[in-house]
Amino acid sequence: MFKLTLALTFNEGASDAQRATITQNLKDAAARKEVGKSFVSPTMPGVFFGGDVLAHFQFADGAALNAMNPVIDAALNGAPIANLDRVVYAGAASGVAKPDLKNGVYRTLLLSVDSGASEAALQAFEDDLRSMTRHVPAIRNWQLSRVMSGSGAMPWTHVWEQEYESIDGLMGPYMMHPCHWGMVDRWFDPEFPEGMINTRICHTFVAAPSSVLAS
C-alpha cells in the first residue's frame, strides 16, 4: 500500500470561495475509485507549520498512485497556495490498538533528517519514536514511515502518524511525557551529540471520524 499526504497552506489573501473550491476539488479526487481510505479536512488550532488543510490518500498499489497524481495536481491547479508539503510513503512498522476508533484525532509529523546521518543513527532515532507507543497509551494507532518522495518547505524524510481518542491525548500524555522531552527531543537539539533533525517540522492534526491507520 502507498500513501500520499498533503499539508496545504493558503495565501493570506485567498478568499473563502477559493479555499472552498480547492478543498472540494481535493474531496472529489479522494472519492475516485483508485483511492482507498482518505480524508480532506481543515486542520485544528495549534498546528505548527501544519497548513490550513490536510489531505490524506491511500492506494492499493503504485499504479493507482501514479494514476491519481495528475488528478490531484489538477485539483490544485491555480490554487492560491503559500506552501504545499507533499509526501509519498509506504506502510511500515504499524501498531493498531483501537481499530474501531471513532471521532478521534489524526496527527502527522513530517520530519527532515540531516543528509549526513548514518543508517545506525536513523534506526536508533526510529526505535526511540516507536518506544513512545509503549509508554504513551493515549497513542491508539500509529505508523512510522520513511518518505519515498517529498516536496515542500523541507526535504522530508519521515512521517510519524498517530491517532488519539481526543485532542487531550495528543496535547497532554504525548507532548508532556518524559519519554518525549527526555529521550526523543534530544534528536532535535543541536546542542546534543545526537541532534540531527531539523527543527523546521510540520506538526499537524485534524478531527478524524474514523481510523485511517487501522487496516
Whether the Cβ atoms of residue 151 and residue 199 lie closer than 8 Å to each other: no
Helix and strand numbers (H, E) in the chain are 5, 9
d(CA 93, CA 95): 7
**Is 84 contained in some domain?**
yes
pLDDT value of position 93? 55
**Is 161 contained in some domain?**
yes
Please report the sign of the dihedral spanned by the C-alpha atoms of residue 60, residue 61, residue 63, residue 65: positive
Tens of pLDDT, residues 97-125: 999 999 999 999 999 999 999 999 999 99
DSSP 176: T
Query: At 178, is the pLDDT very low, low, confident or very high (cuts 50, 70, 90)?
Result: confident
Question: What CATH number should be reported for the domain holding residue 76?
Answer: 3.30.70.100
Tens of pLDDT, residues 44-61: 999 999 999 999 999 999
Tell me which of 175 and 25 has the higher pLDDT: 25
* Among candidate residues 155, 212, 197, 204, the one with its CA nearest the CA of residue 7: 204
Tell me which of 188 and 72 has the higher pLDDT: 72
Residue type, position 125, single letter: F
Q: What is the span of the domain harbouring residue 47?
A: 2-210
pLDDT value of position 206? 98
DSSP 173: I
**Contact residues for 184 (Cβ-Cβ < 8 A; gap 6+):** 128, 129, 132
26: number of Cβ within 10 Å = 25
Counting the structural domains of the chain, the total is 1
Could you tell me the three cell numbers for 69? 497524481
**Is 185 contained in some domain?**
yes
Mean pLDDT of 200-204: 97
pLDDT value of position 175? 78
The pLDDT > 70 percentage for the chain reads 99
The pLDDT > 90 percentage for the chain reads 81
Could you tell me the three cell numbers for 80? 492560491
Could you tell me the three cell numbers for 71? 488528478
Whether the Cβ atoms of residue 136 and residue 179 lie closer than 8 Å to each other: yes
21: number of Cβ within 10 Å = 15
**Is 50 contained in some domain?**
yes
Mean pLDDT of 9-37: 96
What is the pTM for the complete model shown? Answer: 0.94
**Is 215 contained in some domain?**
no
Tens of pLDDT, residues 134-154: 889 999 999 999 999 999 999
